[in-house]
Amino acid sequence: MSAEFLPTLDILEPDQQNRLTVLLRLLLLIPQFVVVWVLSVVAFFVAVIGWFGALVLGRLPDFAATYLAGYLGYDTRVSAYAMLTLDRYPPFGFDTPQYPARIGLKPGPLNRAAVFFRLILAVPAMIIQGVLVTGWWSVSFISWLVVLVLGRMPRPLFEATAAIVRYRMRFQAYLLMLSSAYPKGLFGDDESVLLGTAVPGAATTGAPGTVGGAGAASATRPLVLSGAGRGLLVAFILLGLLASTTSSLTSAFTSDDDDTARATGPLAPGPGPARR
């Protein structure tokens, strides 16, 4: 029995970045965020229809696989650009063979029981990716400042960021039923990882382990993290846990204060009844 295919991510080696586009990165991405939101609304309804189809057919219907794969590729390119792993602005389209970031997917047969309980099964991976993304963005100003000053993303920071982008992509691929493989490989791959091909609309042409039509070498397939890269990834995890815990405690205390205020409101000092 062959091993399950894990969705792949190819990004070029970190290179010089235009400091002006780094400075204005989030502002430049406003149109992309709007497009991703619109695409995500459509993806929700396609995924719901695809879920019913997968229960009946044992796989995603072709139309659902094609759209969801295109959406996931688009979302991943925007995330990679927003998180400073590359400097080229993501194009407005699903078919982007020359873009220096791509994903590889192989939608195929699905276990109907796993499809039926998809949301429940995805909860652990959802928590992990939430912690990762929260941790990265909680110190994103520092990362942004480093890239702005140096004009490039340091290799350890690139490795940790690429690992987060890839895990998030694998989680979404599993949730959207584009992959039967549960998200894994957060801390990188072995050099001997087998490489796969991609489906139309989700990846560009080129040999495995390359990016774009020019066939430039991928820095993330296989993804091998250095000691510094692993250390940064652990730091992002800890920061994400801390930020999530702090947010939960703050919400709990705020809720308790509101409840207390409502309970003691009638007892608050105020003008008493007039005395004769």
CA-CA distance, 91 to 147, in Å (whole number)? 22
Q: What is the pLDDT of residue 144?
A: 96
**Position 189 in a domain:** yes
**Position 254 in a domain:** no
CA-CA distance, 83 to 269, in Å (whole number)? 53
| Residues contacting 264, CB < 8 A, separation 6+ | none
Residue 211's H or E segment, with its range, is strand 210-211
DSSP 109: -
212: alpha, beta or left? (left if phi > 0; alpha if psi -120 to 50)? left
Note if the bond before 154 is cis, omega within 30 degrees. Answer: no
**Position 175 in a domain:** yes
CA-CA distance, 78 to 88, in Å (whole number)? 10
Strands 210-211 and 101-104: unpaired
**Chain centre to alpha carbon of residue 1:** 30
**Position 267 in a domain:** no
Task: Spell out the per-residue pLDDT of the chain, length 276, in tens.
Answer: 456 889 999 999 989 999 999 999 999 999 999 999 999 999 999 999 999 999 999 999 999 999 999 999 999 999 999 999 999 999 999 988 889 999 999 999 999 999 999 999 999 999 999 999 999 999 999 999 999 999 999 999 999 999 999 999 999 999 999 999 999 999 988 755 544 444 444 444 344 555 655 456 888 989 999 999 999 999 999 999 998 888 777 777 776 556 555 655 554 455 554 544
Q: What is the pLDDT of residue 253?
A: 72
**Position 62 in a domain:** yes
**Position 241 in a domain:** yes
Domain count, the chain: 1
CA-CA distance, 207 to 224, in Å (whole number)? 19
Q: In this structure, are residues 253 and 152 in contact, taking their beta carbons and an 8 Å threshold?
A: no
Q: In this structure, are residues 188 and 225 in contact, taking their beta carbons and an 8 Å threshold?
A: yes
Q: What is the pLDDT of residue 201?
A: 41
**Position 50 in a domain:** yes
**Position 232 in a domain:** yes
CA-CA distance, 18 to 148, in Å (whole number)? 8
Q: What is the pLDDT of residue 97?
A: 84
Residue 61: which domain range?
Answer: 8-247
